[in-house]
Amino acid sequence: MKKFLIILLSVTFLLSLQLTPLFAGGTMERIEKSGKIRVGFREGSIPFAYMDPKVGKHVGFSVDMAKLLAANLSKRFGKKIVIQPFTVTPKTRIPMVVNGTIDVEMGSTTYTQKREEIADFSLIFFFSETTFLVAKDSGIKTITDLNGKVVGSARGTTNLQAVREKVAAGVFKPKDIVVTETHPQGMLALKTGKIDAYSTDRSLLEGLRMKDKNPEKWMTVDFAIAYEPYAYIVRENDSDFRDFVNNTILWAIKTGEFFKLYEKWMGPKGPVPIKMSKAYKNYLNMIVYPIKEGWWKKK
């Protein structure tokens, strides 16, 4: 009996070690102690977060939002908080948040109820839709034009899920569905003729198109098969940090900084011009609850 109890206690101890997260003590506490916030960025989610070979680092709208977050954290703790960047993919972004490798993923991730079951999310800060990028001379204008074609989408995305759901429902019947690991891989597959259409968010497709050497060769189709609300990923049961991320978004909206960044990355002179609709602007202004200067201070 004594031997059994010793074994049971040993197993319980080992399990507790396995279940103890790398972020024990809370994200805010860890950031204060380390002086760093670990942020996951995508390598090809233009214009939200992508690797710019000219400067050798991540850039984009969400990268600039991460800088605002770090600046607010610096005010909170009274010392410089620096960003430690990590590159994530659609497949790794949620696991890297959940297991504590990164504190937050800031890119162009779609909020879904299913994802909410394993991670937490910030406020929704952008809306897009799932559609397709094709060659202008492909003749693809409607969803039924994809019948018999090879379509591609990235692993671990809501876009791939939407494509499969539409195929299962008989909305269209492609010859094959090719799964890529990243959006740049999808663009390469399209350019080399391995696929006839690549599916992701409209905003990201326009980013891929605009960054191509021959953007006029490609077009994003008019129809959509799903809608994509963007939010930043944080861990569950970490409300202090999630609230700080949300307040950073809200403060940026209230002070106008959010709109300046939107203009920088998605305005007429930005890398990917996406006109801000009246409904979207109204949504942003509507979610800003009363928030005052100094909200970042410890209470």
pLDDT at position 39: 99
How far is Cα 5 from Cα 12, in angstroms, rounded to an integer?
A: 10
CA distance 87 to 106: 11
Q: Say how far residue 161 (Cα) sits from the centre of its chain.
A: 16
- Tens of pLDDT, residue by residue, the chain (299 residues): 444 343 333 333 333 333 334 445 699 999 999 999 999 999 999 999 999 999 999 999 999 999 999 999 999 999 999 999 999 999 999 999 999 999 999 999 999 999 999 999 999 999 999 999 999 999 999 999 999 999 999 999 999 999 999 999 999 999 999 999 999 999 999 999 999 999 999 999 999 999 999 999 999 999 999 999 999 999 999 999 999 999 999 999 999 999 999 999 999 999 999 989 999 999 999 999 889 999 999 87
* DSSP-assigned letter for residue 59: E
* Domains in the chain with CATH codes: 25-125+231-287 (3.40.190.10), 130-227 (3.40.190.10)
pTM for this entry: 0.83
From the list 2, 283, 231, the residue with the least C-alpha distance to 123 is 231
Q: How far apart are CA 9 and CA 115, in angstroms?
A: 34
Separation between Cα atoms, residue 42 and residue 234, nearest integer Å:
15
> Residue 294: how many CB atoms within 10 A of its CB?
7
The pLDDT score that the predictor gives to residue 104 is 99
Give the pLDDT score at 25: 60
pLDDT at residue 289, rounded to an integer: 87
